[in-house]
Amino acid sequence: MKKRVWVNLVMAILVAGLFLTASCAKKTIVSDATTIEDQEKAKLEADAKAAAEAAAKAKADQITQQKLEDEIAREKAQKAARILAAKQLFENQDIHFEYDSSDLSEIAKAGLKEKAAWLKNNVSLMITIEGHCDERGTTEYNLALGDRRANTAKNYLVNLGVSASRLNTISYGEEKPLDSAMTEAAYKINRRAHFVIN
């Protein structure tokens, strides 16, 4: 019997709950004033947001422009670096010779062709061609051999159309080795024509 009373009670609560739920829905419809207040607030918020967005956009625009200027500067620097690299390549890439020889190998000729092309694109530059030898051979003979190597390189450039008046030569013989080791590898890099932009 007591159990039945509990079931009825639960049922009563559930029904009451149903009514309560129904009354809540009805309440939403009647609270219009509150809604208007909320809308005004939202509008303010939206305005603030728009202003913030505008500010952010302005800032972004500024950043973009800054970035472009940096890019121009970087490109300039890169171009200068490319010119410098080309200059350095011109100066650092030596033409090499066989032992006791001032003849130009195919590799040496190819290197001189590159140099001639570059010199024609940089007509204002004056060049000194240094002739060097490995340390084998006597001092005086090597001075003459270095002189010959520098002249051979010069004449080849002149034949490729570079003005002779832009090309100075000097022999250092065996006085300025790049590597003073007494090895074939050292001798090989020391037998060279070296190019200097004046």
Partner 1 sequence: MVSFKMNKRYYSRAMANKILLHIFFVFLGGHLIFLAPAYSRDYDYINVTNPFLKKTPVAVTDFKPFNGNAQEINIGKTAKAILKEALDFTGYLKIMNPVAFLSNPAESGIQLGEINFRDWTAIGADLLITGGIIETDGKITLKLRLFDTFNAKLLVGKIYTGPESQVRQMIHLFCSEISYQLTGKWGIFNSKIAFVSTVNGNKEIFSCDFDGRNIKQVTRHKSISLSPSWSSDGQWLAYVSYAKGKPDIFIKNIEEKRGSIINYKGMNISPDWMPGQQKLAAALSFSGDQEIYLLSIKGEIIKRVTNSWGIDVSPEFSPDGKKIVFTSKRTGTPQIYIKDLESKNAQRITFKGKNNTSPAWSPDGRKIVYVGIEENNIDIFVMDINSGMPVQLTMNAGDNEDPSWSPDGSMLTFTSTREAGVSRIFVMNASGSDPRRLLRLAGKQTQPDWSK
By CB under 8 A, residue 180 contacts partner 1 = no
Distances (CA, A) of 88 to 60, 81, 83: 40, 10, 8
Distance CA 39, CA 59 (A): 30
Q: What angle do CA 103, 109, 111 make, to 5 degrees?
A: 125
From the list 170, 186, 188, 189, which residue makes contact with partner 1 (rule: CB under 8 A)? Answer: 170
Least distance from partner 1 to the Cβ atom of residue 117, Å: 25
Number of residues forming the site for partner 1 (CB under 8 A): 19
Q: Which is nearer to partner 1, 91 or 147 (CB)?
A: 147
Q: Which is nearer to partner 1, 62 or 105 (CB)?
A: 105
Closest by Cα among 155, 140, 153, 161 to 196: 153
- Binding part of the chain for partner 1, among 40-48, 73-81, 106-114, 141-149 by CB under 8 A, reads 141-149
By CB under 8 A, residue 103 contacts partner 1 = no
Q: Report how many helices (DSSP H) and strands (DSSP E) the chain contains, helices first.
A: 5, 4
Phi first, then psi, for residue 93 (nearest 5°) are -85, 105
The DSSP code for 165 is G
Q: Which is nearer to partner 1, 95 or 143 (CB)?
A: 143
Distance CA 156, CA 104 (A): 9
By CB under 8 A, residue 163 contacts partner 1 = no
By CB under 8 A, residue 144 contacts partner 1 = yes
Least distance from partner 1 to the Cβ atom of residue 185, Å: 14
* Binding footprint of partner 1 on the chain (CB under 8 A): 100, 136-141, 143-145, 147-148, 151, 169-172, 175, 182
